[in-house]
Amino acid sequence: MSILVPVYNAADFLKVCVQSITAQTYTNLQIVLINDGSTDGSWELMKELARDDRRIEVYSQSNNGVAATRNGLLSKAIGDWVLFVDSDDTIAPDTVKILLQEQEKTGADMIVFNQRVARVYDKETVIREFLRHRGFRGMLWNKLLKREHLEGLEFDRSVSFGEDALMVWQVLQRVNHVVAINKRLYHYSPNATSLSLQRFNGKKFTAYTVWNAICNDVDETWPQYSDIAHARFACEMTQVLKSAAVSDYRHDSSVKLLQEEVRRDGHLIAKTGISSRRMSRFAWLVSHSYWLARYVSKRV
């Protein structure tokens, strides 16, 4: 079992994170940490932690971003199963034991945890639910993955926002049996360095790359879900545009590109029912008048 931790300026919370991993009741672990050019003493702390537990492997690189760091982590993994843990989060002491027991019991290709509802997905259902973005979502941290399903895949280094969803989508093309359990094993701790919590910047526009690629795959391989996929594309781009507008981001070519997408596919939000009427109305607004959407966003 390999637990993979990307590290960037995590000195304030890394020790607690790693302690939650080394304290697992299942002990046959490979724990890999890669420092992505931290400037806050994270690398020194990583080396100290590795001296205390022989299962911990630590590596360092110049700052290349989370996608490149996760690729490096995958290249080091040797376990049959892989779990990603962010350096500011923690996992419950029985996490690995519970997940491996569930996998052995069900024979699942992927175990999803921290879910509200326990259920079993066949391949077609999990594809549909990923696209609908309700019971099954694209985050990486709540999924136990079989390493063989990751072989030959890489996180897209050009993507800074949503690279985990694109990887999960690619893995789903290789699995047949997914089990979700309603056990809260992962404790998410948002912090100011998280891209999702930072003031809007151009990196979030790379979500376009993610959903454009997913939609192209769906159109070719899962055409029965094309409307759902393109509706989700429009929803995701609407959310990015809303974040940009609220932050007074300029109306540049990136904004125009996303507006074009939402104008093309926004009508599918209501048609497929994957989101609220309010989302559908706002999608129309932000795709036609970025400035008016900015005004409205700041007042809702």
What band does 196 get if pLDDT is binned at 50, 70 and 90? low
Q: What is the dihedral of CA 240, 243, 245, 248, to 10 degrees?
A: -130
Please state the rounded mean pLDDT for residues 56-74.
96
Question: Mapped to the 3 state alphabet, what secondary structure does 112-167 carry?
Answer: ECCCCCCEEEEHHHHHHHHHHCCCCCCCCCCEEEEHHHCCCCCCCCCCCCCHHHHH
pLDDT of residue 299: 63
Residue range 82-97, pLDDT digits in tens: 999 999 999 999 999 9
Supply the mean pLDDT for the chain: 94
pLDDT of residue 201: 80
**Strand order from edge to edge, sheet including 177-180:** 56-61, 30-36, 2-7, 81-84, 143-146, 110-112, 177-180, 119-122
Domains with residue ranges and CATH for the chain:
2-187 (3.90.550.10), 199-297 (no CATH)
pLDDT of residue 193: 53
Q: Which of 287, 286, 283 is nearest to 268 (CA)?
A: 283
Structure tokens at 295: 């005004």
DSSP string, 260-290: HHHHHHTHHHHHHTSS-HHHHHHHHHHHH-H
The percentage of the chain sitting over the pLDDT mark of 70, rounded to a whole number, equals 96
Pair 4, 73: CB distance under 8 Å = yes
Residue range 114-128, pLDDT digits in tens: 999 999 999 999 999
Residue range 211-256, pLDDT digits in tens: 999 999 999 999 999 999 999 999 999 999 999 999 999 999 999 9
Give dist(CA 6, CA 241) in Å, integer: 28
This prediction has a pTM of 0.93
Task: Find where tokens 């989700």 sit.
Answer: 232
What band does 190 get if pLDDT is binned at 50, 70 and 90? confident
